[in-house]
């Protein structure tokens, strides 16, 4: 007599299967195909996936005619031993693209030689789709999921044109969304997704003021409504370098100088109210490595975790450092230094990093035009 498991039991078993294997076993039967393709299953599978950090390293060539080599190191932040590996691109795009953003396990790639050319790449299925070219040069890009229409969107910020370009999954034409009229913005950070809004840090020059002043804002665009917002940042909390991050669902600003690091959390968007939640000096770090001479150099990357104890924001930050061709992680809270991997000769560590998930929420990308 045949024995059948309830669908709920089968679904719970399949949730524990790696995404790459799910693509293969979808063909076992109609029931499995239906379960694995269901959006609720896809979201539940994503919720079980491990968060990763993808760091960008660069080996510069001084001789003319030789291109710089970029490597992308993915690090599993949930495993105790912090396993790392080189992020693999499609063979046809190896050393030809930049990895610029990630959403639900899908990655957004930009052509190194043809900047308007973008790709959506699924590392699980190895599918790669080319997007429609844009009419403007954009300084920052982002990939986001609009759950109101259950489609992905690509956002391009063209600061010179003061517009944000939007391409929705299944469409060919980029839509223009007007951001701000004046003054001219200078983008200072990669976009991060917080409460269904893409946020980025910008500096403006107040040309109407006799003594030209720098004005600092967090700009944001709602992924669903595509409405634009400005959140002012007091000049008193700005330093040489700034990073935005999402921690526990809050927007955080990390403001950094050579020897000082402060974290501010946004408490009120409407009134642009910020509060400092952590501050430290380079010399006061516990068990500070001798080779950590500055928060700002070509061999250090400050990375924020997505989740931490709200009463201790220092737990949300880690420093990745390259020293003598070795990559280390330094934990601000414990002062622990951990070896991650060996890297190439004369390798620098880029300041920007990409949060990523191991498993792709969308198990396969539809072969639609545009995305």
pLDDT at 187: 64
156: phi then psi, degrees, rounded to nearest 5: -125, 125
Residue pLDDT, tens place only, 219-271: 899 999 999 888 888 888 888 788 888 888 889 998 999 999 999 999 998 88
Question: What's the CATH class of domain 49-357?
Answer: mainly beta
Please return the burial class of 95, using the count of CB atoms within 10 Å of its CB with bins 0-12, 13-18 and 19+: exposed
- On whether the pTM is more than 0.95, the answer is no
- Domain ranges in the chain are 1-48, 49-357
Per-residue pLDDT at 1 exceeds 90? no
- Taking Cα atoms as reference points, which of 308, 356, 358 lies closest to residue 331? 308
Residue pLDDT, tens place only, 139-197: 889 999 998 998 999 999 887 777 889 999 989 999 998 766 555 566 667 899 998 99
| Same fold? 1-48, 49-357 | no
Pick the more confident residue, 202 or 146: 146
CA distance 129 to 211: 48
Question: What's the CATH class of domain 1-48?
Answer: mainly alpha
Other beta carbons within 10 angstroms of residue 181's beta carbon come to 6
Give DSSP secondary structure letters for 278-331: EEEEGGGSTT--TT---SSSTTEEEEE-S---TT-GGGGEEEEEEETTEEEEEE
* CA distances in angstroms from 158 to 9, 58, 70, 365, listed in the order given: 49, 25, 25, 27
- Confidence band for 199, pLDDT divided at 50, 70 and 90: very high
205's tokens: 């020059």
């Amino acid at each position: 007599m045949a024995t059948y498991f309830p669908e709920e039991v089968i679904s719970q078993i399949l949730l524990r299967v790696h995404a790459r294997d799910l693509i293969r076993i979808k063909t076992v039967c109609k029931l499995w195909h239906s379960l694995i393709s269901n959006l609720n299953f896809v979201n539940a599978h994503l919720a079980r996936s491990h968060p990763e950090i993808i760091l960008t390293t660069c080996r510069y060539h001084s001789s003319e005619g030789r291109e710089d080599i970029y490597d992308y190191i993915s690090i599993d932040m949930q495993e105790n031993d912090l396993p790392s590996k080189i992020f693999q691109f499609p063979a046809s795009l190896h050393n030809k693209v930049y990895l610029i953003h990630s959403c639900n396990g899908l990655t957004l790639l930009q052509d190194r030689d043809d900047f308007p050319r973008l790709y959506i790449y699924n590392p699980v299925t190895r599918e790669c789709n080319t997007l429609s070219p844009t009419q403007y040069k954009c300084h920052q890009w982002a990939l986001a999921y609009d759950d109101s229409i259950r489609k992905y969107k690509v956002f391009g910020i063209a600061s010179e044109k003061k517009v944000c370009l939007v391409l929705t999954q299944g469409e060919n034409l980029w839509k223009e969304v007007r951001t701000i009229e004046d003054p001219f913005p200078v983008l200072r950070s990669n976009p991060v997704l917080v409460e269904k809004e893409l946020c980025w840090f910008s500096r403006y020059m107040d040309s109407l003021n006799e003594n030209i002043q720098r004005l600092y804002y967090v700009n944001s665009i709602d992924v669903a409504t595509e409405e634009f917002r400005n959140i002012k940042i007091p000049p008193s909390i700005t330093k040489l370098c700034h990073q935005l991050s999402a921690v526990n669902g809050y927007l955080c600003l990390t403001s950094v100088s050579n020897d000082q690091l402060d974290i501010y959390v946004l408490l009120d968007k409407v009134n642009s109210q910020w509060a400092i939640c952590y501050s430290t000096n380079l010399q006061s770090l516990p068990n500070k490595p001798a080779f950590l001479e500055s928060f700002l150099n070509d061999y250090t990357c400050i990375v924020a975790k997505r989740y931490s104890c709200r009463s201790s924001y220092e737990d949300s930050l880690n420093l990745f450092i390259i020293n003598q061709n070795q990559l280390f992680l330094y934990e601000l809270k414990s002062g622990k230094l951990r070896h991650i991997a060996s890297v190439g000769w004369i390798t620098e560590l880029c300041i920007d990093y990409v949060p990523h998930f191991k498993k792709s929420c969308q198990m396969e990308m539809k072969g639609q035009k545009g995305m």
